[in-house]
């Protein structure tokens, strides 16, 4: 069975979301800056309509008993760069509703989006939507509040209550707009530089989660960092344990080595597997326990790693284990039978 723990889906045109919005909000969004946005290449700053592109291929879920996919609504992740936080909630609500109707099947579940600007509203949405079997996870756009902060507790409480994991994925505008988390060093000029540094977002938020004691407050909470790769994890685990030994008195609520919480509450994914070439050079750093926390994700339709790519680069035993791990992760939701 193929278990893809993070693939993407998006609307082909924003007008498709209108029927999922109240009429007054439809009027609010019905202007060219918005309706033209999907087809205009951007980085969200459209200097000219010449920079346009075709929308990505629409996702059409199939019913295949040998396949299960967790579907991320990548367009909604970009609300972390929005200044209109109220409009953002309307947009996320519409995307979630559209996704429930169009992207869920016997072989796919939705990673519903929540607002990073309103945890209370988000918690109520999780409780409302996750009653159905359509939701497989909760997706949080990253903002300047680190994920270990108590700010997020209402969302975590709701996730634990309904039995769904968190999925964290970058939107791509991090390091570009105020409101999003900055990237390390300073402002990086190119999209290429920012893409290289995206795993630092995962590292920083994992450090926050373990040092702020989030998994002591919510021992059942499970968090998947999807699309960040996994080669950096051994170095981070050694580093957080090292700092804990040096500064244990500073964080007295952290009772065990921080890496133990990484191995019990955090998951990682394979994409982009191309950066994990020559496993004989690095896999000696990946403990058996850590290998049990790495799942397959295709990232389709962007880059689109296949199971064949994973097998070619890492070998059959890695692939088999990733599928087993994916089943274990999705079973934690009590929503997905695998």
Residues 6+ apart with CB under 8 A from 42: 51
Other C-beta atoms lying within 10 Å of the C-beta of residue 308: 9
Nearest to another protein of 61, 179 (CB atom): 179
The rounded distance, in Å, linking the Cα atoms of 337 and 323 is: 14
Residue among 182, 138, 199, 192 at smallest CA distance from 163:
138
Three-class SS of residue 9? strand
Question: Can you tell me which of 65, 246, 288, 308 binds another protein, judged by CB under 8 A?
Answer: 246
In sequence order, the β-bridge partners of residue 224 are 167, 267
- Nearest approach in angstroms of CB 263 to another protein is 13
Alpha-carbon Rg for the chain in angstroms: 19
Angle at 135 between CA 207 and CA 222, to 5 degrees: 25
Shortest distance, position 68 Cβ to another protein, whole Å: 27
Nearer to another protein, 13 or 238 (CB): 238
Q: Does 289 bind another protein (CB under 8 A)?
A: no
Q: Which stretch binds another protein (CB under 8 A): 5-13, 50-58, 116-124, 181-189?
A: 181-189
Cβ–Cβ < 8 Å for 120, 158: no
247 contributes a contact to another protein by CB under 8 A = yes
Q: Where are the beta strands (DSSP E) in the chain?
A: 2-9, 67-73, 108-113, 135-139, 166-168, 223-225, 266-269, 294-295
Q: Show Cβ contacts of residue 128 under 8 Å, excluding neighbours closer than 6 positions.
A: none
Window 248-267: residues binding another protein (CB under 8 A) = 250-251
State yes or no: residue 239 binds another protein (CB under 8 A): yes
Q: Which residues contact 283 (CB under 8 A, 6 or more apart)?
A: none
327 binds another protein (CB under 8 A): no
For another protein, the closer of residues 11 and 209 by Cβ is 209
Site string for another protein, 17-56 (x = CB under 8 A): ----------------------------------------
Judged by CB under 8 A, does residue 293 bind another protein?
Answer: no
CA 93 to chain CA mean position, Å? 17
Nearer residue to another protein within complex by CB, 1 or 191 = 191
Nearest CB to another protein, comparing residues 34 and 232? 232
**List of residues contacting another protein (CB under 8 A):** 144, 146, 148-149, 183-186, 188-193, 195-197, 199-200, 203-204, 207-208, 211-212, 229, 231-232, 234-236, 238-244, 246-247, 250-251, 272, 274-278, 281-285, 287, 303
């Amino acid at each position: 069975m193929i278990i893809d723990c993070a693939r993407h889906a998006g609307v082909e045109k924003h007008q498709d979301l209108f029927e999922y919005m109240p009429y007054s909000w439809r009027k609010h969004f019905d202007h060219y800056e918005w309706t033209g946005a999907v087809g205009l290449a951007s980085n969200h700053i459209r200097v000219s309509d010449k920079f346009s592109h075709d929308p990505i291929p629409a996702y059409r879920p199939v019913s295949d008993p040998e396949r299960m996919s967790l579907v991320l609504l990548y367009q909604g992740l970009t609300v972390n760069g929005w200044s209109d936080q109220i409009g953002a909630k309307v947009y996320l609500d519409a995307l979630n509703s559209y996704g429930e109707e169009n992207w869920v099947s016997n072989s796919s579940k939705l990673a519903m989006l929540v607002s990073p600007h309103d945890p209370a509203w988000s918690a109520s949405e999780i409780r409302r939507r996750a009653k159905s079997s359509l939701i497989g996870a909760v997706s949080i756009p990253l903002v300047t509040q680190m994920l270990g902060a108590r700010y997020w507790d209402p969302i975590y409480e709701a996730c634990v209550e309904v039995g769904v994991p968190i999925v964290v994925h970058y939107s791509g505008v991090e390091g570009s707009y105020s409101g999003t988390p900055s990237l390390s060093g300073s402002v990086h000029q190119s999209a290429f530089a920012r893409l290289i540094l995206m795993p630092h977002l995962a590292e920083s938020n994992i450090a926050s989660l373990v040092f702020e004691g989030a998994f002591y407050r919510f021992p059942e909470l499970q968090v998947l960092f999807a699309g960040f790769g996994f080669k950096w994890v051994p170095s981070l685990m050694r580093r957080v344990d090292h700092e804990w030994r040096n500064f244990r008195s500073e964080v007295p609520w952290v009772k065990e080595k921080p890496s133990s919480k990484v191995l019990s509450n955090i998951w990682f994914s394979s994409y982009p597997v191309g950066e994990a070439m020559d496993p004989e050079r690095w896999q000696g750093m990946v403990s058996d326990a850590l290998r049990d926390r790495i799942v397959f994700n295709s990232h389709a339709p962007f880059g689109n790693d296949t199971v064949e790519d994973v097998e070619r680069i890492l070998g059959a035993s890695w692939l088999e284990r990733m599928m087993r791990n994916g089943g274990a992760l999705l079973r934690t939701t009590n929503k997905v039978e695998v």
